[in-house]
Amino acid sequence: MAKRALITGVTGQDGAYLADLLLKKGYTVYGTFRRLSTPNFWRLQYLGIFDKVRLMPADMNDMSSLTEAIHVANPDEVYNLAAQSFVAASFEQPISTGTISGLGVAMMLEAIRHTDPKIKFYQASTSEMYGKIGLHSIKEKKGRVLLNEKSNFSPTSPYAAAKVYAYWTTKIYREAYDMFACQGILFNHESPIRGLEFVTRKISNAVAKIHLGIEKELRLGNTKAVRDWGYAPEYVEAMWRMMQYKEPEDFVVATDRFHSVAQFAEAAFDSMDMDWKKYTKTDKKFFRPIDTDALRGDYSKAKKLLKWKPNVQFEKLVEIMVREDVKRWQNVLDGKVFPWDAPNYPTEASIITRSMKQ
């Protein structure tokens, strides 16, 4: 019988790629979305899986909806990807970030424990949990990678603090209730379906618009910040492998390479034969009250135990993202797309609600 998976946050970047991967592996895929005044299913449409994912409404603020989702989907595996995931916004909305990205995880674990503790659980943990430790590791050891599953955490944002709470809660449920609760400590991963507010997509989108004469400049914050950027479709494969591993464990997923935001911008403008310095300005608006200065991950545990390694490196990632955004904006200029909500909404009959157990 086909395995059943429930993905929270299926409308996000990772949720969409993971749904695609699991469908290809023959899973029946359930995905939760939250009620919004405007539909947000464009990523599922972009990947051509909009009509293949079984959509159900649920909110990380509302435990009853999470319990309902578990009852209805009756999953073998739950991938908890839903979060308020934008670090900058977590300074503006610290409380809701704490509820959605932290407490919501405890609600989901409780929902599973009370329904069927044999359901496997994946938590989307993050390199942001290392915070300040990242810079110290890179400076002190002259670039030698230290950020692995054993490194300490020193969160620098309400988002990271919420994720640290979720991290420990997941570990506690694993040990206290013998649940298969694993987590990936994923470093930044990007793609053409990354949210526009994150710096890589903000840059690729701006480069495309400037290249086509739609926009004139790009305003950025801390361009000295350093990140270990990977390619999202490869990272969701690592999530799945963790869930198939014989024991529930924690794994770092990264590329072991790092670049600054300035280097990302330079490479992106370069790919369109433009000089990034000519078009990029610094804007205080985009600096955070405190930032995670530098992150670089050691994925050797995932390589050894999960046989996972990244294949798309920085230069290729930049190229993929810029090329896709140029193509999209060229389509707009050619009159091929226009704003319209109707194609972006599932038919009401296809939305699964209360106790429509299948």
Residues designated as active site: 126, 128, 159
Task: Show the tokens assigned to 347.
Answer: 């038919």
Compose the 28-67 pattern: x for residues touching ligand NAP by CB under 6 A, - for all others: -----xx-x---x------------------xxx------
Site for ligand NAP contains 186 (CB under 6 A): yes
Strands 28-33 and 54-57: parallel
Q: Which is nearer to ligand NAP, 335 or 339 (CB)?
A: 339
In the complex, what is the shortest distance from the CB of residue 121 to ligand F7E, in angstroms, rounded to a whole number? 18
**Binding at 257: pick from ligand NAP, ligand F7E, none (beta carbon under 5-8 Å per type):** none
Q: Which DSSP string do the residues of 122-188 spell out, in sequence order? A: EEEEEGGGGTTHHHHHHHHTTT---BSTTS-----SHHHHHHHHHHHHHHHHHHHH---EEEEEEPP
Residues 169-188 that bind ligand F7E (CB under 6 A): 187-188
Q: Is 188 in the site for ligand NAP (CB under 6 A)?
A: yes
Residue 218 interacts with ligand NAP (CB under 6 A): yes or no: no
Site residues (CB under 6 A) for ligand F7E, limited to 185-204: 187-188, 197-200, 202
Shortest CB 184 distance to ligand F7E, Å: 11
- For residue 31, with 0-12 CB atoms within 10 Å meaning exposed, 13-18 middle and 19 or more buried, which class applies? buried
Distance CA 233, CA 14 (A): 8
Indicate which single residue of 27, 29, 53, 84 sits in contact with ligand NAP (rule: CB under 6 A): 84
Residues in the chain: 358
Q: Which does 92 bind (CB under 5 to 8 A by kind): ligand F7E, ligand NAP, none?
A: none
Q: Is 97 a residue that touches ligand NAP (CB under 6 A)? A: no
What part of residues 276-295 is at the interface with ligand F7E (CB under 6 A)?
286, 288, 291
Question: Rounded CA gap, 173 and 186, in Å?
Answer: 20
CA atoms 293, 298, 301, 303: torsion sign: positive
Torsion of the alpha carbons at 185, 188, 192 and 198, rounded to the nearest 10: 120
Taking the least distance from each CB to ligand F7E, the nearer of 32 and 90 is 90
CB nearer ligand NAP, residue 9 or residue 248: 9
Give SS3 for 248.
Answer: coil
Q: Which CB sits closer to ligand NAP, 210 or 324?
A: 324
77-80 and 54-57 strand pairing: unpaired
Nearest-angstrom CA–CA distance, 38 and 47: 20
